[in-house]
Structure 1
Amino acid sequence: MRLIKDSSPRILVIWAMLLIAGLVALSLGRWSLAFVSFATLALSLLPPLLAARWSLVLPLPYLVFTTFFFFASIFLGEAFDFYERLWWWDLALHGSAAVGFGLTGFLFVFMLFEGDRFAAPPSAIAFITFCVAMMVGAMWEVFEFTMDTTFGLNMQKSGLDDTMADLVLNAIGGLIASLTGYVYLVRNTAGLLGMGLSEFIHMNQRLYQKYKHRLKK
């Protein structure tokens, strides 16, 4: 109930659409569409469920981003063939996802140090952030390969060329995220993306005790 209560109306609409689409597809015997619908719904629910399990508070923009990303990449991309209709669809999704997962990696690494900016050089934390973004990007490529070979989808499109282009975009997005994290550690601000980092840290201060104490001084 808390998960539903704290969610944006737009997110609830997407979840409802996915549920209805999956049920209708099942009734019509369209198994692939039903699978895509329920898979998208499950992945969209995963971040808030994990956050609740680990007692984390997710900023609404983060929840909106993850929900729209899974909806746009799996449901619109596969069920409605947006990857073929819009040439930039795959590029935009992979680039934005790399930035988002990179920032998530920064928050996780920073949390391991309890928000202590001096426990490791900012450059080292930024490097780990880049590595996390690349790791998640590589895992997504494995996921696409698995979906294509197991369920007959076409997420990889042109195969090797598509995979390598996606990894290059992951590297660019990861670099943006790591630079954002570096600047944030050095200057306590980093533009719009830095505001997102500050919001998450502020909402989960118990995980960043040393950084919170520094801000109070």
Structure 2
Amino acid sequence: MTPRAPAERPPVVLYLTWLVLIGAAVGGFLTGEFSITFVGVGTLLLSLVPIWLGERVGVTLPTAFVSAIAAFLCATLLLGEVGDFYERYWWWDVVLHGGSAIGFGLVGSLLMLMLVKGERLTAAPLTVAFFAFCFAVMIGAVWEIWEFTLDQVFGLNTQKSGLVDTMWDLIVDTLGALIGAGAGWAYLKGRQNGPLTRAIHAFVDKNRRLFGDD
């Protein structure tokens, strides 16, 4: 039987993220910047969706997963769009693309682990990693198609410098996907000392029935 993951630390990042969002919403209301209030409240509600959805489908999300999702939403919607971080800091988009790609690489690894651990599929660790990598890159490519569609249909400028921006996004997505998929490979190889493999371990430990380990 797979050993249980150590007890989780208090969700400091999650609480701080919620505090920032609430502060932004209140501050926007007091100063008459209602667009900030709208984004702050909307982002806060979106950060609660994974918890709500997890309860509905019977999946328990570790604190690290929920915290990462909330922090990402805050970084891209509040800081990135309202705070104009995308324009102020050239590396902001790179960090978020890389982070999301790592996350989707982990999701792809977990999807494959559900099949492998549940004995619905036989696959080597390298096969699991390959699927996770392809899954994450696919999500990145679909996002670029979405941005292109928005620019063409609504006259927006989400792709900034066009082809150059798109290619750098895809390159960063690919590197992030490689890291996330590599974590899945490392987990199956018994190398669970890194933060990403510990995150996978925590998810598996909280949802043993999904992995055929009751």
Please indicate, yes or no, whether the TM-score normalized by the shorter chain is above 0.5: yes
Distance 1:36 1:12 in 2: 13
In structure 2, what is the equivalent of residue 171 of structure 1?
A: 174
1:12 aligns with 2:18: yes
Which stretch of structure 1 is more off in the superposition, 170-179 or 10-19?
A: 10-19
Cα contact 1:180–1:190 (8 A) shared by 2: no
Amino acid in the other structure paired with 1:168: I
Query: What SS does the corresponding residue of 1:157 show, helix, strand or coil?
Result: coil
What code does the residue aligned with 1:9 have?
Answer: Y
Q: Tell me how far apart the structure 2 counterparts of residues 196 and 173 of structure 1 sit (CA, whole Å).
A: 16
In the alignment, structure 1 residue 24 sits paired with structure 2 residue 33? no
Q: Distance in 1 between matches of 2:37 and 2:155?
A: 14
Indicate if the aligned counterparts of 2:150 and 2:156 stay in contact, CA closer than 8 A: yes
In 2, the alpha carbon distance for the partners of 1:153 and 1:37 equals 22
Q: Does 1:103 align with 2:100?
A: no
The answer (yes or no) to whether the contact 2:101–2:176 under 8 Å persists in 1 is yes
- Mapping of 1:33-182 within 5 angstroms? 33=36, 36-37=39-40, 39-116=42-119, 119-145=122-148, 154-182=157-185
Aligned length: 203
Alpha-carbon offset, residue 154 of structure 1: 4.2
Q: Give the structure-2-normalised TM-score.
A: 0.79
The 2-side partners of 1:10 and 1:54 are apart by: 27
Deviations 1:157-176 (A, max 9, x none): 21221111111111011111
Structure 1 Cα separation of the partners of residues 26 and 148 of structure 2: 27
Where structure 2 has 5 or more consecutive residues not aligned to the other structure, the ranges are 1-10
* Contact preservation (8 Å) 1:102, 1:133: yes
TM superposition shift of 1:113: 3.4
Q: Which moved more, 1:167-176 or 1:141-150?
A: 141-150
Decide whether the 8 Å contact of 1:110 with 1:116 is kept in 2: no
The TM-score normalised by the length of structure 1 is: 0.78
Q: Which amino acid aligns with 2:43?
A: T
Say if 1:152 and 1:81 are closer, same or farther in 2 by CA, change over 3 A: farther
Query: Aligned partners of 1:101 and 1:20: how far apart in 2?
Result: 32
SS of the residue aligned with 2:159?
Answer: coil
